[in-house]
Amino acid sequence: MNTYKMVVEQTPIHIIHDTYKRECRYTRGIHIPIADFENILNRMCHDTKVYFDFHNTAKPICVGTYLNGHSGLARDIFNYYKETYNTTIPNIVNGKDFYVKII
């Protein structure tokens, strides 16, 4: 099985959380091609999609966008890469905050 590594940032990435009206700081994240991210969104169950939208209100899904991660999204990303590419992403499904950058 292949491995896809998370990015560890030396300087935190700051992403606005519109719902909470504050800025979130992340020191780890994952960079995902837009086609893969669109597939992940299309496969999401309704409840996870609602929670994703809550954390990323009005953020465009386009190259260069940074998104707030959450545990449901982490599971969907992990499962997508495992099922589609036979690839694992260590430490993404561990409850810790992360960001997603669409590439």
**pLDDT tens digits for range 1-11:** 677 889 999 99
Residue found by looking up tokens 């992990």 in the block: 78
Number of domains in the chain: 1
* pLDDT at residue number 84: 96
Check residue 50 and report its DSSP letter.
Answer: H
22-74 pLDDT tens trace: 788 999 999 999 999 999 999 999 998 998 898 898 889 999 999 999 889 99
Q: In this structure, what token pair is assigned to residue 86?
A: 């036979």
Beta bridge partners of 8: 28
pTM over cut 0.75: yes
**What single-letter amino acid sits at 84?**
T
Which H helix or E strand runs over 100? Answer: strand 99-102
- Burial 21-37, CB ≥16 within 10 A → b, else e: eeebebebbbebeeebb
The predicted structure's pLDDT at residue 1: 66
Domain that holds residue 55: 2-102
